[in-house]
């Protein structure tokens, strides 16, 4: 772990411990249990040890893992779920899930949903945001690329994973496209084609969708309904209730390499309300710094302030 990450985790770990010590985590968990809410938690490529500790924490505190199909039953038909219901999902289809997550999931029979960007899976398996490139054309099921390096599962591995009874597959567009940046024709393509391709690969009905980076503007719902999706997941920091719109399902985010206390605060929804004011302050400070630099004609230097400003982008996990 880089020094900046260690510094970030040290600061955020202290903040998280203070939230736990003052009882905010306990009160949030009690509200969820007593109010009949569902806790939705999502990961990308979690640190193996962190993921194990999260699962143990949930089990020890009486949470009950549910599948997305059970969640759909409560959202569309009013099915009553057990107290402390929790739904786990994973975005992007990272290849590390095969060794770091799925063995634990299978051993403990924990249902999970994987949201898959089909173009990346069928292509070179490289995530564009890590490589500053667009997804490639399909390369075949073995996913062979130059150097053999991939970030994502291959099609063959996805088919293998789908055979596990604990795993449900959902769409994450074709190219991990942020739909708010697209024309309506492009939105239709990304939502429709990804569903069609997944169903052709897996011979299963694909009912669920997750908005890439959690962004949406409302135009998506028409296409979601038209293509037969019955759930769309956001990254809103809230519990799921019987009044939740099935096409705007909130989920709590757990960063890949955060500290365990921070993960606990995220799992009960108290982290974002605590950290967002700090992030907003640093963003305002960043804008002021840029303005002053532009006014003086100087270029930003490697000062402590700018180091802090670079750090602030990582505070949210």
pLDDT in tens, 153-192: 999 999 999 999 999 999 999 999 999 999 999 999 999 9
- 43-52, 73-82, 283-292: segment of lowest average pLDDT: 283-292
Confidence label for 217 from pLDDT (cuts 50, 70 and 90): very high
Hey, which residues does 263 pair with through a beta bridge?
none
Please tell me the distance from the alpha carbon of residue 22 to that of residue 147, in angstroms, as a whole number: 50
Hey, which residues does 135 pair with through a beta bridge?
none
Q: Of 130 and 290, which is predicted with more confidence?
A: 130
304 has pLDDT over 60: no
How confident is the model over 115-163, as pLDDT tens digits? 999 999 999 999 998 886 544 444 444 444 445 689 999 999 999 999 9
Under 8 Å CB-to-CB from 295, ≥6 apart: which residues?
A: none
Nearest residue to 252 via CA among 110, 42, 89: 42
Instruction: Using a pLDDT cut of 70, give the percent of the chain over it.
Output: 85
Nearest residue to 156 via CA among 172, 174, 138: 138
Please tell me the distance from the alpha carbon of residue 191 to that of residue 198, in angstroms, as a whole number: 11
273 has pLDDT over 50: yes
Neighbours of 106 (CB within 10 A): 14
Mean pLDDT of the chain: 88
Residue 80 is encoded by which pair of tokens?
């009553």
Query: Averaged over 198-226, what is the pLDDT?
Result: 97
Please tell me the distance from the alpha carbon of residue 250 to that of residue 229, in angstroms, as a whole number: 16
Do residues 84 and 140 touch, judged by C-beta distance below 8 A?
Answer: no
Hey, which residues does 152 pair with through a beta bridge?
94
31, 74, 266 from 79: Cα distances, Å:
20, 4, 26
Please tell me the distance from the alpha carbon of residue 63 to that of residue 85, in angstroms, as a whole number: 6
Confidence label for 2 from pLDDT (cuts 50, 70 and 90): low
**Which alpha helices (DSSP H) does the chain contain, by range?**
3-21, 24-34, 48-60, 68-77, 97-100, 102-107, 118-122, 128-131, 155-162, 184-202, 220-226, 260-267, 271-296, 304-312
Q: What's the pLDDT at 119? A: 97
Q: What's the pLDDT at 274? A: 93
Nearest residue to 89 via CA among 118, 56, 67: 67
């Amino acid at each position: 772990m880089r020094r900046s990450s260690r510094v970030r985790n040290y600061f955020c770990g202290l903040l998280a411990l203070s939230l736990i010590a003052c009882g905010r985590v306990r009160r949030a968990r009690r509200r969820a249990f007593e109010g009949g809410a569902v806790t939705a938690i999502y990961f990308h490529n979690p640190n193996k040890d962190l993921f194990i500790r999260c699962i143990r924490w949930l089990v020890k505190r009486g949470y009950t893992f549910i599948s997305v199909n059970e969640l759909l039953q409560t959202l569309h038909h009013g099915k009553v779920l057990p107290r402390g219901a929790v739904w786990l999902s994973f975005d992007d289809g990272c290849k590390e899930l095969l060794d770091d997550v799925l063995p634990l999931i299978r051993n403990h029979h924990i249902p999970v949903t994987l949201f898959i960007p089909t173009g990346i899976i069928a292509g070179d398996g490289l995530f564009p945001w890590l490589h500053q490139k667009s997804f490639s054309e399909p390369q075949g099921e073995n996913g062979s690329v130059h150097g053999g390096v991939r970030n994502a599962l291959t099609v063959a591995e996805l088919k293998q994973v789908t055979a596990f009874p604990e795993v449900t597959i959902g769409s994450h567009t074709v190219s991990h496209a942020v739909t708010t940046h697209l024309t309506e024709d492009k939105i239709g393509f990304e939502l429709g084609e990804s569903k069609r391709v997944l169903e052709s690969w897996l011979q299963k009905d694909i009912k669920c969708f997750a908005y890439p980076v959690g962004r949406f503007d409302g135009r998506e719902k028409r296409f979601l309904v038209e293509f037969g999706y019955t759930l769309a997941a956001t990254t809103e920091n809230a519990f799921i209730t019987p009044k939740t719109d099935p096409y705007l399902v909130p989920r709590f985010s757990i960063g890949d390499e955060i500290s365990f206390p921070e993960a606990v605060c995220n799992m009960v929804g108290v982290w974002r309300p605590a950290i967002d004011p700090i992030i907003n302050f640093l963003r305002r400070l960043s804008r002021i710094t840029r303005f002053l630099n532009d006014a003086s004609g100087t270029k930003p230097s490697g000062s402590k302030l700018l180091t802090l400003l670079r750090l602030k982008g990582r505070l949210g996990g």
